[in-house]
Homo-oligomer: A and B are copies of this chain.
Amino acid sequence: MSTSKALPQPDREEIRVEAVLQALGEPVRLQIVRALADVPEGIACGEIELPVTASTRAHHLRTLREAGVLSTHTEGTRRISKLRREDLEELYPGLLSGVLAARR
């Protein structure tokens, strides 16, 4: 039986718009967010194709998680991340869909 554990993240009411915007305003992190937007059930972080090293990838995922953009839980040795769409839509209606509408 594999254990599942959620990594620390801000509660909805602790999320700050400046942190969300800063987290989203970086090309690789935006690429991660776009990848996650297509898969509501979440993605194992390693499966997202990114032009960066594993440690840079981990850093970007952490920045997104700590800003409140995504949540991550472990399943055995895998880390699954999901966008916090509901939280973001409740706090900033339209923001995420507007960002995802951007030409790539």
Residues of chain A whose beta carbon lies under 8 Å from any beta carbon of chain B: 17-22, 24-27, 30, 91-99, 101-103
- Determine the residue in chain B with the shortest Cβ distance to A95: B98
Chain B contacts for A101, CB-based, 8 A: 91-94
User: A25 touches which one: B18, B30, B92, B97 (CB < 8 A)?
Assistant: B18
- Bound together, the chains give a CA A60 to CA B96 distance in angstroms of 24
How many monomers of this chain does the complex have? 2
**Is the CB–CB distance between B96 and A92 below 8 Å?**
no
Q: Is the interface of A mostly helix, strand, loop or mixed?
A: helix
- Bound together, the chains give a CA A17 to CA B96 distance in angstroms of 12
**Is the CB–CB distance between A99 and B21 below 8 Å?**
yes
Distance from A96 Cβ to chain B, minimum over Cβ atoms (Å) = 7
**Is the CB–CB distance between B95 and A17 below 8 Å?**
no
**Is the CB–CB distance between A98 and B92 below 8 Å?**
yes
- Bound together, the chains give a CA A22 to CA B91 distance in angstroms of 19
Chain B contacts for A95, CB-based, 8 A: 94-95, 98-99
11 contacting pairs across A/B (C-beta < 8 A): A17-B103, A18-B27, A21-B22, A22-B22, A91-B101, A92-B99, A93-B98, A93-B101, A95-B95, A95-B99, A98-B98
